[in-house]
Amino acid sequence: MSSTVEQLSAQQPGGGEPPQPPAGQGLVPATWRRLKRITLSYASFWVIVFMIALSLLSWLGVPLSPYAYDQTTSATLSAPSAAHPMGTDELGRDLLARVIYGSRLSMMIGLTTALIALFFGTIYGAIAGYCGGRVDAILMRGVDVAYALPDLLVMILVGVLVGRGTGGILTALGLISWMGTARLVRAQFLQLKHEEFVEAARSCGQGPLALIFKHLLPNSIGPILVALTFIVPAAIISESTLSFIGLGLSPPACSWGTLASEGWRSLRTHPHLILFPSLFIFLTVLSFNFLGDGLRDALDPRTRLATRR
C-alpha cells in the first residue's frame, strides 16, 4: 500500500504543481522517439553528429598539419599505413589530416547553403502563400523559371561572376536550392491559412506578421525540417562536383571535392587518394538522405495517426 503511494508521489515531484504533460507527447520528443525506431535513420543521425564533430575538431587543431609536407621519396604517395592511416599525397601530406580538415569546408558549405535556402525560400514562399491570388501566381512563375535553368550552368556562370572562393560557391548553391523550400512553404501556407485556428487568431485581431510567425510557420516546421535535411547533401554533392571538374574551390582551399579532384590525377597508380575523400562525401550524403527519409516518416501525420490507433 505505502509503496504505491511512494510510487505515485515519486511520479509527481513537488505535488502542489499542476500535472505536467506526460513525457514524449510534444512534437520534438515524439518525433525523436519515432525516429529512434527507424534504425537506419537513427544510425545516420549519429554519423552526421560524428561528421560535424570532426569538422569542429579541425578548428581545435589536427594532430598532423594538413599542409605539413615531407618530400622524401618514401613519404610521398605512400599507401595507407600505421603512420598515415589513409596514406599520403604527392607532396607527402597526410591524407587523413587533409580529409578531417576538408570536412570543415564541405560541412560548412552544406549547412550554410541549407540555411540560406531556408531563409530566402521561406520568405519567398511565405509571401506567395500568405498573399495568394495574383501575387502568388507571379511569384510562382519566378520559381518555374529558376527551375528551368540547368543547375550546373547557373553555378558555373555565378562562379565566374562572383569569384570562385567560398563566397561564390555559397551564392551559387543558394541560388539553385531555394526553390524547393519556397514551393513547400507556399503549399503549407495555402493549406493552413483557412484552418480554423488561423481564422480564430485572425478574428482576435492578430496582424499578418503575428499570424505568420506565431501560427503558420510553427505549424509548417516539420516539412521544412525534412526539406532542410535534403538540401544539405545536395549542396555537398554540388560543391564537390564543381570542385572536381575544376570550376569550384581550388587549392590551397581544401574540401572533400578538391581532395577528390587532386586524387583523380593519380587514379591509375594511387586510387586511395580519390577513394577516401569520396567515401567521406558518400557517407555524409547517404546519412543525410537516410535521416531525411526517416524524419519524413517520423513526422508524417498519416503514420502518426496509425501509431496512435
Partner 1 sequence: MAWLVLRRALWAIPVLWVVATVTFILVRVVPGGPFDAEKNLPPGIVANIKAKYHLDRPVAEQYLLYLGRLSRGDLGVSYKYANRTVNDILSDAFPVSVQLGAMALAIAVLAGVPLGTVAAVRRGRLLDFACMTLSTVGISVPSFLVGALLIYLLGIWLKALPVALWESPRHMILPALTLSFLPCAYVARLTRASVLEVMQKDWVRTARSKGLSPAVTIVKHVLRNSLVPVVTILGPLTAVLITGSFTVEYIFAVPGMGRFFITAVINRDYDLIMATSLIFALILIVSNTLVDIAYTFLDPKIRLEH
Q: How deeply is 220 buried, as exposed, middle or buried, from its count of CB atoms within 10 A (0-12, 13-18, 19+)?
A: buried
Query: What are the cell numbers at 287?
Result: 546519412
Distance CA 86, CA 98 (A): 10
User: Does 282 contact partner 1 by CB under 8 A?
Assistant: yes
Torsion of CA 128, 131, 136, 142, to 10 degrees: -40
Site for partner 1 in 122-151 (CB under 8 A): 145, 148, 150-151
User: Does 244 contact partner 1 by CB under 8 A?
Assistant: yes
Tell me the residue type at 235.
A
Task: Name which of 41 and 220 has its Cβ closer to partner 1.
Answer: 41
User: Does 161 contact partner 1 by CB under 8 A?
Assistant: yes
Distance CA 248, CA 166 (A): 9
User: Does 285 contact partner 1 by CB under 8 A?
Assistant: yes
Candidates 247, 242, 278, 246; CA nearest to 260 is: 278
Q: For residue 21, what is the DSSP state?
A: P
Binding mask of the shown chain, residues 167 to 206, with x at each position contacting partner 1 by CB under 8 A: ----------------------------------------
Q: How deeply is 152 buried, as exposed, middle or buried, from its count of CB atoms within 10 A (0-12, 13-18, 19+)?
A: middle
Of residues 121, 290, 296, 299, which one binds partner 1 by CB under 8 A?
290
Residue 46: CB minimum distance to partner 1, A: 17
Distance CA 287, CA 133 (A): 39
Site for partner 1 in 19-58 (CB under 8 A): 40
User: Does 255 contact partner 1 by CB under 8 A?
Assistant: no
Task: Name which of 36 and 265 has its Cβ closer to partner 1.
Answer: 265
Q: How many residues interact with partner 1 (rule CB under 8 A)?
A: 34
Interacting residues toward partner 1 by CB under 8 A: 40, 145, 148, 150-153, 156-157, 160-161, 233, 237, 240-241, 244-245, 247, 260, 264, 267-268, 271, 274-275, 278-279, 281-282, 285-286, 289-290, 293
